[in-house]
Structure 1
Amino acid sequence: MDVNKNKGDGYTPTECKKFILPVRDVIDIVGGKWRLPIIIALSFKIQRFKELERQIEGITPRMLSKELKELEVNGLVNREVFGTMPVSVQYCLTDYGKSLDKVIETMRDWGLAHRSKIINE
């Protein structure tokens, strides 16, 4: 489906809703202020909680914990607990989480182009 077609090209409201629904699903899963930065940080390497907290400026430990749990529930992040003293936990992207790489890359490219457009106007 070409989303760039004009209204008069024969799309029905039902077809439009079918296009919107999966996009809303993506926004529900990766939307918000913190989830994409967490996913991006984990796309570079496996990290412990404190490493993530330091890398993502402005996030509180409580919010980081909440968002990691939500990403884990959605199958994007894996949490591994080690029986060391003290207990150590590390997080990594699942293969499913890594499937967002192209989407994030496209968003980054668009963001760079947009930033350039706005600055140069």
Structure 2
Amino acid sequence: MKKTAEINATQVCQVRMQAISDAMSLLSGKWKFHILGTLIEGNALGFMDLLREVKGIGTKMLSKELQDLEVNNLVSRKVMNTKPITVEYTITEYGKTLSPLIDEIAKWGIDYRKSVYGKTDK
């Protein structure tokens, strides 16, 4: 006889687990937190500025991640009327609500690095 899981059986727990799943799906990947953190700190940035700031990301990946973040209302894209055409990216008001989460992840990462490596730099 197979035993059924009881931990996630409550309605509150199911809603919470769905919310965690949604958040992880939206923010998953190597680059999204880097991009969001950079935009939170840097205000409005052009594509090439972001490419320079987010070390190691390629142009195609940056473009894809920015599109995902824009579709999900975390980043806004503004096409400037310049020659050549330039694009400016900013964090949305809703995207700014991730700031405390990003700060906590950074603090956790610093503490982790200290505990494992005994230092905070590379």
- TM-score bracket, normalised by the shorter chain, equals 0.7 to 0.9
Q: Does 1:115 align with 2:113?
A: yes
Range with greater deviation from structure 2 (26-35 or 73-82): 26-35
Segments of 4+ moved more than 4 angstroms: none
Deviation at 1:12, TM superposition (A): 3.9
Q: How does 1:8-87 map to 2 (within 5 A)?
A: 12-15=7-10, 16-45=13-42, 46-87=44-85
- Point out where structure 1 has 5 or more consecutive residues left out of the alignment: 1-10
Give the match's secondary structure for 2:76. strand
> When the two structures are superposed, what TM-score results if normalisation uses the length of structure 2?
0.84
Deviation of residue 34 (structure 1)? 0.7
Provide the TM-score with structure 1 as the length reference: 0.85
User: Which secondary structure does the structure 2 equivalent of 1:13 belong to?
Assistant: coil
Secondary structure in structure 2 of the residue aligned to 1:17: helix
Q: CA deviation at 1:104?
A: 0.7
Q: Distance in 1 between matches of 2:22 and 2:55?
A: 27
Structure 2 Cα separation of the partners of residues 28 and 56 of structure 1 = 21
Structure 2 counterpart of 1:32, one-letter code: G
SS, match of residue 14 in structure 1: coil
Aligned residue-pair number: 110
- Per-residue deviation, residues 22-68 of structure 1 (Å, max 9, x unmatched): 11211111111011100011011210000000111111101100000
Q: Could you tell me which amino acid in structure 1 is paired with residue 8 of structure 2?
A: P
RMSD over aligned Cα, in angstroms? 1.3
Q: What residue in structure 2 maps to residue 4 of structure 1?
A: none
Query: Aligned letter for 2:82?
Result: T
